[in-house]
Structure 1
């Protein structure tokens, strides 16, 4: 495990003084529950702290942005920057899902790369980094992985609406297709794909079809932008 954590720290661009903090940040509740450990043994408390640190960092970033953004716009863009799919995407840049410590059942289901799981771990890592190295280290990390492409992140806020407008303007046909549905009734998981003119585009996921569609629309907008250079207005 120590070798794995060393590799992860290289990817993060930060080496922990207390590596146990990083291990704590990677410990999913399923693992601590399975081993009869108290709730605080999981990464949930670090996730709570990381969420607050992330919100402050992104707020400072938007406040200092030029040209100046008004309060209402900053609120909307910040929500896009710290939403689950955006954080999951940032986490995948460093393959964070490969290091999440799961209970045996969850490991068999391979949930380590689900948006909900990987984004929670990402926030927990931010919290652990803040405790270990202070605000500046956490800020440098967030700036590098989350705040580098504000325009793409901003697309998520109104992704379905923006995509529908694009589809209407270009006289295209849009369909959202559920390609995976699993989990118990109280904890459903959906994976949804956007289909444009019978061509498969982006895939999104979430605890509801609506969340999956939003993610699929977001990934589709990014794909369209990459393929065509089309610039979507986000604020």
Structure 2
């Protein structure tokens, strides 16, 4: 229900990355690797490491207090999170199921070697291709195609 959806939004990779950026935790990372070479998720990873370290050092109760007082109260906007879409793919699938429409994600191209691999995905609803997208993983390509489909079909989806 509602609480499950809100929990998943709060602990989503995207939101953890935002929290890590807001807390400016990257300044505490010491590495020989230039910060420009860190992956997209470094901010969320550092935030998770901090929470894990607090839990291990001080225990559950202190960690809970830290998260509530130092993270949720100052940085988490519940109203903003309520309207945030975490997975366009889930929205599209739920809409298709409610409308009794078939859908299919089809990888029609994968190019490059392992380090630079790209996948191209078509999203079909019924017999119509409604969106295409490319990304470095099938999952990301499917999510991008779903986002494009969502905005292309937004009027239909909001009426359902």
Instruction: Decide which structure has the larger Cα Rg and report it.
Output: 2
State TM-score, norm by structure 1: 0.35
State TM-score, norm by structure 2: 0.49
Structure 1 or 2: more strand by fraction: 2
Relative contact order, higher structure (CA 8 A, sep 6+): 1
Structure 1 or 2: more helix by fraction: 1
